[in-house]
Structure 1
Amino acid sequence: MENNRDPKRWVKELRGRRSAARPVPSQATERDPGHCSIRITHSDGKNIEVEYVTLLANRPRSYENFFAIWESFVVPWGVKPEYRKPVESDVSAGTQNLKINVTLEPYTIAYCTGPEVTDACTYVTLPPARAVTAPSSVTIAADEISLQKLVIGYRTLYGYLPRRYGNWVGLWRGLASPYNAPKPLARAKPGNASEGNLVMDGLSLDPDSVHTLIYFMEKSRTSAAAMCTFRTPG
Structure 2
Amino acid sequence: MTTAEADVRAIEIGTTVAYAYEISAQAEGGTLLEISWRGVPNRNPSKSGDFVAIWQNSGSVPWGTKPESSQSVTNSTPDGDLPFSGLSMANLPYVAAYSVGSDATNYYNVAAVIPIAVGGTPGTPQTTTVGVAYVGATSLAVAYTTPIGVDPKTFGHTVVLAHSDTFIPGTTEVIATVKTTDNPNDVVGFTGVRMIVGQTYTVAYLAGSAPANVAATVTFLVVPA
Name the TM-score, length of structure 1 as normaliser. Answer: 0.42
Q: Over alpha carbons, which structure has the higher Rg? A: 1
Name the TM-score, length of structure 2 as normaliser. Answer: 0.44
By relative contact order (CA 8 Å, sep 6+), the higher-ranking structure is 2
